Amino acid sequence: MLKRLISNDLPRSRVLGVLLLALLLALAFAPFLVPGVKALNVAAKVLIFVVLVASFDLLLGYTGIVSFAHTMFFGIGAYGVAIATTRMGPTWEALAVGIAGALALSLVLSLAVGLFSLRVRAIFFAMITLAVATAFMTLASQLSDITGGEDGLSFKLPSVMSPSHEFADDPFLGVMLDGRLLTYYVLFATALVLVLALLRIVNSPFGRVLQAIRENEFRAEAIGYRVVVYRTTSSVLSALFACLSGVMLALWLRYNGPDTSLSFEIMMDVLLIVVIGGMGTIYGSAIGAVLFLVAQSYLQDLLRLGSEATSAVPLLSALLSPDRWLLWLGVLFVLSVYHFPTGVVGRLRAGAASR
């Protein structure tokens, strides 16, 4: 049953299997294991980025397409919910309209980009997608009547998903059962379903063809596969999953703006997570997202403790200053690439195979 659920894509490493199970349980019980606003925000962000990174890996890791327009579809999903609920009110109908409209726009744009640009090779295609993403971000910033401009849009969701809506008077295991908790578990269930769907896609005959195109595009075309069709389909599917991850972001934050979902920094984070977790492995998106986001969220706190502990050594204390967290994050990334050139998942699988 489990093999069928994960599309026969076994971890192939006992350590990786234990890590994935521990991650699943940790995210499932995060509100109760580590109570607090910051911990819950980190867990929710992990769920969102797992889907976003996995959808990007469908392009980069499985099809060999480098695209910088991925966060554009992420932003479309978030803006779809924000605009619909702002105009129509905090109703389920508004959510449905916003999600449907965002998916439709993502479908059209990804199809257009695929049809007009996927015949362009390598770096030229990457530059085209970067130009498209930049143009879209500029457009979102300037259409203030629709998108709220640089200030973005704050909105409300149906009352059952509001933090003020409580399902019980007393806390359960120290946690209030309210709309915020319900929203978290909506994100958890959505992320789980979408990741399983992506596993099904990459382990299907369609996914095998994508991997063949990644390895040798000309050979795949020579044996009869229409490479442009498969690459365009991969681009569309990736965009739709990214759009849904943007919807998840909007549901959690109840706000969206250009810097929140369309910034180039998010695209860079996605690239880093793919490399850390391992390209061409959906599991890598989960492992990479946890490692990167936990480090990003708690590295400053650890450095603050280190700086205070080494206050007697001024040079070391200054080096461990929380203000230098980006430096240490970069060092951690370099070390991870050096020791795990194929990503954490690739290294664990290779080690299990050698044994």
Closest CA relative to residue 54, chosen from 202, 262, 227: 202
Q: Encode the chain (355 residues) as per-residue pLDDT tens digits.
A: 777 778 888 888 899 999 999 999 999 999 988 878 888 999 999 999 999 999 999 999 998 888 888 999 999 999 999 999 999 989 999 999 999 999 999 999 999 887 776 666 667 788 888 888 999 999 999 988 899 888 899 999 998 988 887 787 777 777 778 889 999 999 999 999 999 999 999 999 999 999 998 888 888 888 888 888 898 899 999 999 999 999 999 999 999 999 999 998 899 899 989 989 988 889 999 999 999 998 888 888 888 888 888 888 778 888 888 778 778 888 888 888 787 888 889 888 888 777 7
Among all chains, which residue has been given the structure tokens 């664990």?
Answer: 348
Class of residue 312 by CB neighbours under 10 A (exposed 0-12, middle 13-18, buried 19+) = exposed
The residues, ordered by sequence, that sit 6+ positions from 327 with a Cβ below 8 Å of its Cβ are none
Q: Tokens for 309?
A: 């502990």
Which domains does the chain show, CATH number per domain?
A: 2-354 (1.10.3470)
**pLDDT at residue 290, as a whole number:** 93
